[in-house]
Chains A and B, each alone.
Chain A
Amino acid sequence: MYAYDEIDRTLVNERVSEFRDQVKRRLSGELTEDEFKILRLQNGVYLQLHAYMFRVAIPYGTLATNQLRALAHVARKYDRGYGHFTTRQNIQFNWIKLAELPDALADLAEVGIHAMQTSGNNMRNVTSDQWAGVAPGEIEDPRIWSELIRQHTTLHPEFSFLPRKFKIAITASDHDRAAIKIHDIGLKLIKNEKGETGFEVLVGGGLGRTPFIGKTIKHFVHGRDILSYIEAILRVYNQYGRRDNIYKARIKILVHELGIEKFSREVEEEWQHIRNSSLQIDDEVIEDIRSRFTYPNYEKLPHMPDELRQAAADGDFEAWRKNSVSPHKVQGYSIVTISLKPIGVPPGDATAVQMDALADLADKYSFGEIRVGHEQNLALPHVAKRDLPALWKALDKLGLATPNVNLITDIIACPGLDYCSLANARSIPIAQELTRRFANHELANLIGRLHINISGCINACGHHHVGHIGILGVEKNGEEVYQITIGGRADEGAALGNLIGPGVKFDEVADVIEDVVEAYLALRERPEELFIDTVKRLGVEPFKERVYATR
């Protein structure tokens, strides 16, 4: 965990009082809605279909238990008793009153949580691997760098009014759980041949109306230069990114229009001017940030404790353990993923009661730490294996032990037309119906790893382009129509999915998905061949033939 010091706390409090002034001026009419809109967006406040929506940042997906309790408190006191975890490690509240927002922010500030730059055309919450610091085989903990970048990008005086939003993600593992290739800047922590820490820098990834996979702009930027290199990218983008058309304003379009070679030359030129400036980070500064991340005092524990051996007889426990428990870098410990995708519930939602109870469990079993992943699930990052059976029982009581992590019912979905004023179609009801169709755990297990991503409009908040199966809701002649793609992925092999055929109506979506899955089961070479690999091997055609033959 990163511990805020007095300096960080002061800034958050100053931001709260600034926002309080802005809300006051809006309520008194001193600010027009047009003026206020930009200001509230800078602080995570959207106007949705029914009310204001409030998005709170969870930098790089790390939460302490007192912070999770504060989120539960906000859900209870200012909202309707629940929150919604998003694909960028944020949490959203859907029913907040404008006049109460400053108080909600002040309550969150007490535990070092804020909503700065969770929307608007600025640098958004820096995201990272939800297993950072505990995954085996990591180069080093990417959160040290995430925090440095978080600080550098917070209230940046030059880049707070960019052409469009700007998202940075960081991974330190070969297996990319942070989806860096679909970010404006993706950073992969690596070591050079001298053993020095630095980054492979990718730029220009993103989904939305015109999706692109990020391209490598520089194979190695030394850690001490990372802030100046990011600043150089942003300065080029701030000046030359398009501002005439909101759909062409992301950096991916600039990179595409200039070409990566020309764009990287521009950045390089700018970088040479600023790399030897006060933006250079010396080792002492990095060590200072590192020193404020605390790590648990792990015990020396056996690889296979008795408790685990005994619990293995319980089929339900074993199903959960095999699905939701992952290896930890320290022997005797595990990472536990907590599915926020129970059958029939909107993906990513958690009630205040669940949040509070989870905080208690994290205190008891995970050294007071919780993680949030971009798949809209949570994780307890340091669970002793001997505690797994007891933890499972407690989670099961809370409805948080659905053993469907990475399976077909572990669906990513945006809020869609049920909440969002941009949406053209519903997302959540599609997700709910699909979880019902595949509720049988045996069936889901037989199908194996399969990610379904659903967006209710072209803005792609549900990351449909990179779902193994992607579902995009659009509006056609006043009706919701869904386009279905297959073969997308968001990991280190990131790819955009391909359409399998004409759009289908709301009522037909689940049937079509069942047919796609049936086609896969018939087409796969062996049970271990994942859906995504079968699609890669065979292409879209055989799926199309089978699914649309009878339609």
Chain B
Amino acid sequence: MPLVNGGKIADDSFVKLAVDTPLPESGDILVPAERFLGDADALLKRGGKIGVIWPNNRDIAELVPYLGKVAVVALVFPTFRDGRAYSQARLLRERYNYRSELRATGQILRDQFVFMLRAGFDSFEVKKQADAEAFMQTAKRYSVFYQPTGDGRITALHRRMQLRHSEGVGT
């Protein structure tokens, strides 16, 4: 499953651990929320970056004390029709000011890229190679956005205001 990070297909330095996989000596690891919360202090002291895989039915506020210390938060789309992680992503970015990598995992198709970018995701474990390759093109598919989100894209309502004011200056 290709990883898209920073807009292009990238190597994934992180190894995913299950709840009971032995901890590797070194290297970057992604740990399930349950395991992370159970042993956060020890895990954070270890060498190598650490990320956490957060299920979409657990309150994201529990992760807040650790947000400055983790390198990745991976949110989960068990099916692409299950949109709970969009809300978690926006809360992380817009309410809790999380700034490191926010990864979408699970059933990810190109058809979700724009929504996900707008919700604050910046890396994607994409299900199909062709979709990963089409990332840049698909991400630019829309130029008009009706809603304000933390991604800072200007909304249609505000663009209209700008147009109106710039026209006003000219007359």
Residues in A lying within 8 Å of B, measured CB to CB: 5, 7-8, 10-11, 14, 17-18, 22, 30-31, 35, 38-39, 121, 151-152, 154-162, 235, 238-239, 243, 273, 277-279, 281, 284-285, 288
Contact = CB atoms under 8 A, between A and B. Distances in A.
Interface string B59-101: 0000000000000000000001111101110100001000000
B141 A161 contact: no
7 contacts: A11-B144, A14-B141, A39-B111, A151-B146, A155-B142, A161-B86, A278-B148
Q: How many interface residues does chain B have, given as a range?
A: 35 or more
B156 interface: yes
B26 interface: no
A14 B142 contact: yes
B161 A157 contact: no
Contacts of A239: 84, 87-88
B119 interface: yes
A73 B125 CA distance: 43
B130 interface: yes
B115 A157 contact: yes
B81 A18 contact: no
A7 B157 CA distance: 9
Nearest to B111: A39
Contact of A38 (B81, B88, B128, B142): B81
B87 A277 contact: no
Contact of A277 (B82, B115, B145, B148): B148
By DSSP majority rule, is chain B's interface helix, strand, loop, or mixed? Answer: helix
Interface of B: 80-84, 86-88, 90, 95, 109, 111, 114-116, 118-119, 128, 130, 141-149, 155-161, 164
Contacts of A8: 144, 156
B161 A284 contact: yes
Contacts of B115: 155, 157-158, 160
Given A158-B86, A235-B87, 9 more contacts: A7-B160, A10-B144, A18-B141, A154-B146, A155-B146, A157-B86, A160-B83, A161-B83, A239-B88
B115 to A, nearest CB: 4
A59 to B, nearest CB: 13
Contact of B149 (A7, A11, A157, A243): A157
A279 B90 CA distance: 14
Contacts of A277: 148
A152 B147 CA distance: 6
Contact of B130 (A30, A152, A243): A30
Nearest to B155: A278
* Nearest 10 interchain pairs by C-beta: A161-B83, A157-B118, A278-B148, A11-B144, A157-B115, A151-B146, A158-B86, A7-B156, A10-B144, A238-B87
